[in-house]
């Protein structure tokens, strides 16, 4: 990491934080949802910070354009998998998200092999922000529920799945836009 610029270092830190988040969230320690929330929030903040620094200092790199969205996918997918364990995320949401992510990553790899970098579009950024924000909200609610603050009748699973279905719809929209943009830039005959 010594030769990397600060935004790229933050991207790597986000990847490293992901298993720490998952281990804490899934653990049996007291307030595990809160501890997971804190680590996830730090990881999410590095996403905001790395892009801001890269644009401000004009140090946008190919590595950053490719690794940053992958780091986001790793962090947000870990949250969805953790939520599924606690019945806070329907498996079909995860399937839609993963289908979109693998498809877009495949297109990015083909583009990169042809010397074309296709950065994330505004719809993809909206999808990522919604995933991160909704994940944070769900973790706060899970913590409050675990502490007994919300009451036994609070429909945590319903609220969580409702928020995540919004993200799934954004995944479909952003994926369709990305594929449409990519088709114009990638030579699929190679």
Give CA separation, 96 vs 44, 64, 185, in Å. Answer: 21, 25, 25
What string of H, E and C letters represents the secondary structure of 86-131?
CCCCCHHHHHHHHHHHHHHHHHHHHHHHCCCCCCCCHHHHHHHHHH
Which one of 59-73, 134-148, 169-183 scores highest in mean pLDDT? 134-148
Give the total residue count for the chain: 190
Q: Are 56 and 112 in contact (CB under 8 A)?
A: no
pTM of the model: 0.89
- b/e per residue, 19-50, with b = 16+ CB within 10 A? ebbbebbeeeeeebbbbbbebbbebbebbeeb
pLDDT tens digits, one per residue of 145-159: 999 999 889 999 999
- Percent of the chain at pLDDT > 70 equals 99
- Walk me through the domains of the chain, giving residue ranges and CATH numbers: 6-185 (1.20.120.1760)
């Amino acid at each position: 990491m010594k030769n990397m610029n600060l935004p790229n270092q933050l991207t790597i830190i986000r990847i490293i934080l992901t298993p720490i988040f998952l281990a804490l969230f899934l653990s049996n320690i007291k307030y595990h949802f809160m501890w997971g929330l804190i680590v996830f929030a730090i990881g999410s903040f590095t996403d905001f910070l790395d892009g801001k620094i890269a644009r401000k200092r004009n140090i946008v790199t190919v590595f950053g354009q490719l690794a940053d969205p992958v780091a986001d996918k790793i962090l947000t997918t870990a949250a969805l998998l953790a939520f599924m364990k606690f019945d806070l995320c329907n498996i079909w949401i995860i399937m839609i998200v993963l289908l979109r992510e693998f498809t877009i990553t495949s297109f990015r790899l083909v583009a990169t092999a042809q010397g074309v970098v296709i950065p994330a579009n505004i719809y993809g950024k909206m999808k990522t922000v919604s995933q991160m924000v909704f994940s944070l909200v769900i973790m706060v609610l899970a913590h409050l529920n675990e502490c007994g603050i919300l009451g036994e009748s609070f429909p945590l699973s319903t609220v969580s799945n409702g928020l995540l279905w919004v993200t799934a719809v954004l995944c479909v929209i952003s994926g369709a836009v990305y594929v449409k943009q990519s088709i114009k830039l990638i030579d699929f005959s190679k």
